[in-house]
Structures are given as structure tokens and as C-alpha cells.
Amino acid sequence: MAVPDNKLQIEMLRKMMLIRAFEEKIKYLFTRGAMAGFSHLYDGQEAVAVGGCAALTRDDYITSTHRGHGHCIAKGGDVAKMMAEVLGRRTGYCKGKGGSMHIFDASLGILGANGIVAGGLPMGTGAGLKAKLTGSGQVTMCFFGDGTTNQGTFHESLNMAGLWRLPVVYVCENNGYGISVSQARHQAIRDVAVRAEGYGMVGAIADGNDVLDVYEKASAAVERARRGEGPTLLECKTYRYGGHHVGDPGTLYRSNEEVAAWRAKDPIPRMIAHVLDSGVMTRAEVDTLKAEVDAEIEAAAAYSLESPLPEPEEALDDLFIGFRATGREGRGARGGCAAGAGRAECGGAEGRPRA
């Protein structure tokens, strides 16, 4: 059984606090009109991302979801570059091209948050196939919700992973709702983990509001994967505090009592109680940690708000290598080739310099 040492326990608490503070800040900025689009927040579910990613190394891969801020922070993502991306700034992870739903950090093995439900599962399975074919020893952890388990690519991916014994851990964060439709109204089973048997893989259930339980079960799954014993479907039962996204109060399809019951099981106070009771931290140390986290988020917000927005014509870059797409006539950018691109790269409307 994997028991995290004191240092890791403190780090897990810090990451959960960081995710919560990040999401609170996004909520604040959104309601004040400082950001465009919409954002799906992770508050309430922190123990799943943090407990799961604590079982991984820097070289391992994750795939994430539309509700992806927590996974990226848990895997080591830079909160300043994340917030800048959410605010559409040039200094963001994806230069403002991705936004909240597409945060990506190749250097940390974060193979992208994803706007399509179940979109990341085949990709994560492919990363698992690469690890198996090359013997690299890397493990991939795919995060997704209960709603994903009704998509065809969930079935296709888990079937292939089970068949080929791939080093992939499929982490279902079952928060009880696919957007507004409760699990009881979207599938006939209560435990997603029972589906593991149908793919010839191990199924396990964790208390998704207990970071130590998630860590223990994720560690067992990761170790199995590294030993070549194949994939795991790990279901973590949890809850999202907000609605589907910031603009949804989440009140049309759930009761106040239900939300309150889950808030009583909040993963952060539970972990604080654990570190205090076991003498890992003192109250003063917890307070200091919280103050440091808040300061980090304030700094990230300040950095993001001070960062420049992209120039409109930057929309033309990054489609292909060494290539700039054709711009809009009469509005400055005229398209043509990026420096060094061969003539063949410039043919056609996708990059034709007009005479």
C-alpha cells in the first residue's frame, strides 16, 4: 500500500489549495467580465487530479477534459501561463489559441485539455501504445467524467488498452452529472468501475474526496502498469460544487441539500484535518501554506492581466510548420509564406500570396 511521506502529503495539500484558489480567481474574473468565453471549474474534485498525478512522474503523460484546470495544475502546470491562456493572452500556454479547454504542456506530458467529451481517450491510449512499443516505462493517466463512459471512444479505447495490455490508467471522476443529467438518468449502472471486467482490466473504486485514498489506488494502478500488467479503470466518486460552467448556477437539476452534503466532505478540510491530527503540519504551517498559495494566484492574475493580447494576425500562425495562412484582404495581414517556407508550402488558399 502506497503511503505518501510527509513531504508529499504537504505537496498534495498545497496543490489542492492551489487548484481551489485558481478556480476562485477565475470565477471572480469571469463575473467581473475580465474574461471571454466560458470556463468549467474543478472546485470540489481536487483530490482526484492531485491524488492521481501524485502517483506519476514528470515523464508520464496525462490527458484531460473540458474541466481541465485541476489536472494541469496537479501535473505541474505553471499557473501564470495557465491563467494567461484562460484570459486569452499571448503569454498563455497556447499563445491564446486554446483557452480554458485546450491548455497543453508538452514538456510536462500534458497532452491537452479537450473540448470534446471522451476526445482525449484514444490519444492517451496511443501514448500508452507508444510506451509499450518503445519500452519507455512511461504511464499515461486519462482523466474523464462519468458522461464520457457513454461515448463510443470510451469503449474503443478501453478495448484496445485491455487487448494490448497498455500502461494506461483510466481515471473516471464520477461527479454524478453529465452536464445537467444525473448518472441515474444517463446510465443503468451506479459503479462505472464494473465496466473494467468487460475490457479484461482491473477495476477499482476510490473515495474521490479523499486525496490519500485516490493516491493509494492510483499508485497501485500505476505500479501495475509499469510492471507490464496492463491498464486499470479507476473510478473516483466526487462532486463538482459549481454548475457545468461558470454561467450555470447548477440549481435546476440538483438540490441545495445534495450540494451541502458533498461540501461537508470537502477534500481540502479533510486533508488539513489529517495533516494536523497526524502531526505532519501545525496550524500555523497550514495557514502559511494557504497564504503562499493565495499570493501565487494573485501574482498569476496580475501577470495575466498585464500580459498583452495577441495581435489579430497571429491567428494565421501555427497551422502547419513554417507556414502562415492567408490573411483577410483589406485588413492588414496579407498572408503569404512564413520565412524559410518552400514554395510548395505556399500554394493554394491555405497560404497563397496574392500578386
Partner 1 sequence: MRTITCRQAVNEALREELARDSRIVMIGEDIGPYGGNFKVTEGLWREFGDARVLDTPISENGICGVGLGLAITGMRPIVEVMFSDFTANAMDQLVNQAAKIRYMSGGQVTPTMVVRTVIGGGRSSAAQHSQSLHAWFMHVPGFKIAIPSTPYDLKGLLKAAVRMDDPVMFFEHKMAYNMQGEVPDGEWLIDFGKADVKRAGDDVTVVATSLMVYRALAAAEKLESEGISVEVVDPRTLIPLDMDTIAASVRKTGRVVIVDEGHVTCGVGAEIAARIAYDCFDYLDAPIERVGTLDVPIPFSPPMENYVVPSEDDIVFAVKKAAR
We find the least distance from the C-beta atom of residue 194 to partner 1, in angstroms, to be 21
- Rounded Cα–Cα distance for residues 285 and 10 (Å): 10
Q: How far is the CB of 150 from partner 1 (least distance, A)?
A: 14
| Smaller CB separation from partner 1, 97 or 290 | 97
Distance of CA 326 to the CA centre of its chain: 33
Q: Which is nearer to partner 1, 48 or 127 (CB)?
A: 127
Nearer to partner 1, 13 or 111 (CB): 111
Torsion of CA 162, 173, 82, 139, to 10 degrees: -30
How many CB atoms within 10 Å of residue 121? Answer: 29
For residue 298, count other CB atoms closer than 10 A to its CB: 12
Q: Which helix (H) or strand (E) holds 174?
A: strand 168-174
Given the complex with partner 1, which of 74 and 118 has the nearer CB atom?
Answer: 118
Cα separation of 15 and 38, whole Å? 23
Cα distance between residue 102 and residue 68, in whole Å? 8
**Least Å from the CB of residue 29 to partner 1:** 21
Nearer Cβ to partner 1 (197/329): 329
Q: How far is the CB of 163 from partner 1 (least distance, A)?
A: 7
| Cβ-contact 104, 77 below 8 angstroms | no
At closest approach, how far in Å is the CB of 324 from partner 1? 12
d(C-alpha 43, C-alpha 28), whole Å = 13
Q: Which is closer to partner 1, CB of 239 or CB of 323?
A: 323
Q: Minimum Å distance from CB 349 to partner 1?
A: 7
DSSP 8-state assignment for residue 132:
H
The residue (of 94 and 286) whose beta carbon lies closer to partner 1 is 94
Name 178's bridge partners. Answer: 181
Write down the least CB distance from residue 161 to partner 1, Å: 9
CB 31 within 8 A of CB 296: no
Which of residues 95 and 274 has its CB atom nearest to partner 1 in the complex? Answer: 95
Dihedral sign, CA of 52, 192, 69, 161? positive
Closest separation between CB of residue 153 and partner 1, Å?
5
Minimum Å distance from CB 347 to partner 1? 4
C-alpha cell at 179: 452536464
Which spans of this chain sit near partner 1 (rule: CB under 8 A)? 61, 92-98, 102, 104-106, 111-112, 114-116, 119, 121-131, 133-134, 152-153, 156-157, 159-160, 163, 317-321, 325, 342-352
- Please classify residue 1 by burial: count the beta carbons closer than 10 Å to its beta carbon, then call 0-12 exposed, 13-18 middle and 19+ buried: exposed
- How many other CB atoms are found less than 10 A from the CB of residue 168? 34
HSE-CB of 125 using CA atoms within 13 angstroms: 20
Determine the Cα–Cα distance for residues 108 and 123; give it in Å rounded to an integer: 16
Nearer to partner 1, 157 or 219 (CB): 157
